[in-house]
């Protein structure tokens, strides 16, 4: 197990943070030029922890100089963590708020900006209060704050705002609907100015990278995934929670050693490895390193590191229903394939679950997936299509059994039986009115 880097010496108090060397990396960074700080990040090979895994130092290096483009620069931190299965940023903000703030200040120095916006999801009242409290402690410490203003901007309940361009729209006071790219935020982001958008965990990893040096940090982990990751474990495990691991640690070890194994002595059935949007793994696929390349070989991803463990009571068709209902609810409505497709996926899956499906419905389900995937502005609709197709690919016998037996083989004993999803409370939902989707 790696030493803790992001979550170590947890404290919300400034004096305690400083006593363990806190804000030392900031002083070190300010003695360096912005280009040197960025170079250190590039050397560290740190990649974005929000899900897209883009090299952080390279992202910073895309910001044009103020001579090239005379506009203010902005740092926007994505704290809109809403991916089902992921709750690491919640823990990071709650336990090490000053390390997070230090990361903001170092990054601001690296990209030559004096205004930082932290976009935190509206539901995170607890982490918000802790973060505001930590910023309050810096009121009388101008030598730490420098010329940088940090504004904490609260969202109001919209998963789509975790997508960086939707986040920028929302931060500008608009509906959170993604923009088409290019232009990329590094050139034209917030208020049409050069903007770096980084995830909370990425930003909180910056101080230790500077403190230990990029080369030292890059000794941890495996090629293409350096350093540590804070993973969120949930579902049918004994010890759900967040754990910082060295990249490349085996998924089996994460589930059984850190998560304590399957709760209630039951059998493992499947694992969602990186939040709801990632391709599912069967119980036979967990002897895999938790890193970009190893998971990539199984055509899945670390995503936002939300590991959802599912035991043998979980009906995979119902898993598809519940996640599709989520994407249907959270679709911003801008692109037709996503807005209409997600609700079709829900409806066809529901037909399977209700025992009304015929053989053609399984083909129709995959056809709808194909008509969504790759045809939307942002990854939201794609995610629903990719995961549902992966459920069919890996659990085809179970889907077939729903057709052959006229409903769920678990016969009311699935752990996801009749779960009320928020979308069912809306008038436009097929579930609210029950019109049958006809294949």
Partner 1 sequence: MTPNLYEAIQAERGKYPAGSESAVLPALRLAQAEHGWLSPDVIREVADALDETPAYVKSIASFYDQFHLAPIGEHLVEVCTNVSCAVVGAQQVVEAFENGLGCRAGETSADGKVTLRAVECLGGCGWATIVAVDHHYRTHVEADDVPAIVEELRGT
Footprint of partner 1 (CB under 8 A): 81-87, 89-90, 121-126, 151, 153-159, 170-176, 191, 232-236, 240-242, 263, 272, 276, 306, 308, 310-311, 313-314, 319, 322-323, 326, 329-330, 332, 415-422, 424-425
Distance CA 154, CA 121 (A): 6
Report the nearest approach of partner 1 to the CB of residue 11 (Å). Answer: 21
Report the nearest approach of partner 1 to the CB of residue 439 (Å). Answer: 26
Nearer to partner 1, 423 or 437 (CB): 423
SS (H, E, C) 239-291: CCEEEEEECCCEHHHHHHHHCCCEHHHCCEEEEECCCCCCCCEEHHHCCCECC
Report the nearest approach of partner 1 to the CB of residue 316 (Å). Answer: 11
What strand order describes the sheet that includes 241-246?
241-246, 228-235, 306-311, 268-272, 281-282
To which residue do tokens 């895994």 refer? 53
Report the nearest approach of partner 1 to the CB of residue 424 (Å). Answer: 8
For 15, counting Cβ atoms within 10 Å of its Cβ (0-12 exposed, 13-18 middle, 19+ buried), the class is exposed
Distance CA 253, CA 286 (A): 9
Distance CA 437, CA 85 (A): 30
Nearer to partner 1, 18 or 354 (CB): 354
Report the nearest approach of partner 1 to the CB of residue 228 (Å). Answer: 18
Nearer to partner 1, 61 or 193 (CB): 193
**Local structure of residue 47 (DSSP, 8 states):** B
Nearer to partner 1, 37 or 281 (CB): 281
Nearer to partner 1, 95 or 226 (CB): 95
Strands 268-272 and 306-311: antiparallel
Report the nearest approach of partner 1 to the CB of residue 294 (Å). Answer: 23
- In total, the chain counts a number of residues equal to 439
The partner residues of 149 in beta bridges, in order of sequence, read 115
To which residue do tokens 């005379």 refer? 70
Report the nearest approach of partner 1 to the CB of residue 132 (Å). Answer: 13
How many beta carbons lie within 10 A of that of residue 298, not counting itself? 15
Report the nearest approach of partner 1 to the CB of residue 335 (Å). Answer: 16
The DSSP result for 136-194, as a single string, is HHTTT-HHHHTT-EEEEEE--S-GGGGSHHHHHHHHTTS---PPPSSSPTTTS-GGGS-
Nearer to partner 1, 86 or 188 (CB): 86
The partner residues of 242 in beta bridges, in order of sequence, read 232
Q: Are 242 and 89 in contact (CB under 8 A)?
A: no
Tokens of 85: 């299965």
CA torsion 154-158-159-165 (nearest 10°) is: -70
For 74, counting Cβ atoms within 10 Å of its Cβ (0-12 exposed, 13-18 middle, 19+ buried), the class is buried
Report the nearest approach of partner 1 to the CB of residue 380 (Å). Answer: 13
Distance CA 190, CA 165 (A): 9
Nearer to partner 1, 219 or 426 (CB): 426
Report the nearest approach of partner 1 to the CB of residue 241 (Å). Answer: 4
Report the nearest approach of partner 1 to the CB of residue 61 (Å). Answer: 25
């Amino acid at each position: 197990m790696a030493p803790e880097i992001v979550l170590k010496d947890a404290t919300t108090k400034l004096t305690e943070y400083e006593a363990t060397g806190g804000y030392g990396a900031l002083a070190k960074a300010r003695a360096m030029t912005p280009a040197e700080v960025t170079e250190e990040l590039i050397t560290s090979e740190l990649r974005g922890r929000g899900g897209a895994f883009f090299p952080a130092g390279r992202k910073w290096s895309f910001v044009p100089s103020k001579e090239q483009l005379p506009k203010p620069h902005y740092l926007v931190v994505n704290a809109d963590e809403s991916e089902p299965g992921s709750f690491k940023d919640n823990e990071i903000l709650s336990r090490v708020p000053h390390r997070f703030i230090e990361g903001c200040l170092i990054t601001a120095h690296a990209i030559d900006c004096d205004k930082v916006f932290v976009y935190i999801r509206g539901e995170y009242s607890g982490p918000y209060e802790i973060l505001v409290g930590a910023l309050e402690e810096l009121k009388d410490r101008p030598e730490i704050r420098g010329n940088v203003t940090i504004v904490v901007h609260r969202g109001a309940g919209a998963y789509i705002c975790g997508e960086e361009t939707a986040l920028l729209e929302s931060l500008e006071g608009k509906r959170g609907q993604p923009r088409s790219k290019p232009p990329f935020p590094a050139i034209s982001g917030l208020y049409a100015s050069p903007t770096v958008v980084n995830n909370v965990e990425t930003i909180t990893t910056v101080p230790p990278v500077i403190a230990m040096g990029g080369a030292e940090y890059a000794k941890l982990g495996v090629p293409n995934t350096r350093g540590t990751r804070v993973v969120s474990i949930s579902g049918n495990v004994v010890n759900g929670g967040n754990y910082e691991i060295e990249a490349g640690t085996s998924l089996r070890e994460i589930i059984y050693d850190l998560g304590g194994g399957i709760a209630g002595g039951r059998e493992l059935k499947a694992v969602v490895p990186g939040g709801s949007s990632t391709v599912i793994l069967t119980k036979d696929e967990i002897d895999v390193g938790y890193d970009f390349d190893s998971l990539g070989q199984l055509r899945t991803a670390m995503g936002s590191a939300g590991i959802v463990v599912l035991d043998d009571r979980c009906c995979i068709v119902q898993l598809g229903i519940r996640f599709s209902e989520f994407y249907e609810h959270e679709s911003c409505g801008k692109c037709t394939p996503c807005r209409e497709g997600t609700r079709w996926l829900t409806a066809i899956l529901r037909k399977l679950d209700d025992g009304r499906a015929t053989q053609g419905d399984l083909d129709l389900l995959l056809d709808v997936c194909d008509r969504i995937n790759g045809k939307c502005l942002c990854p939201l609709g794609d995610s629903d299509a990719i995961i549902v197709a992966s459920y069919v690919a890996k659990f085809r016998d179970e889907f077939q059994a729903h057709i052959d037996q006229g409903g769920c083989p678990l016969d009311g004993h699935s752990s996801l039986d009749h779960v009320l999803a928020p979308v069912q409370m809306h008038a436009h939902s097929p579930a609210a009115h029950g019109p049958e989707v006809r294949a």
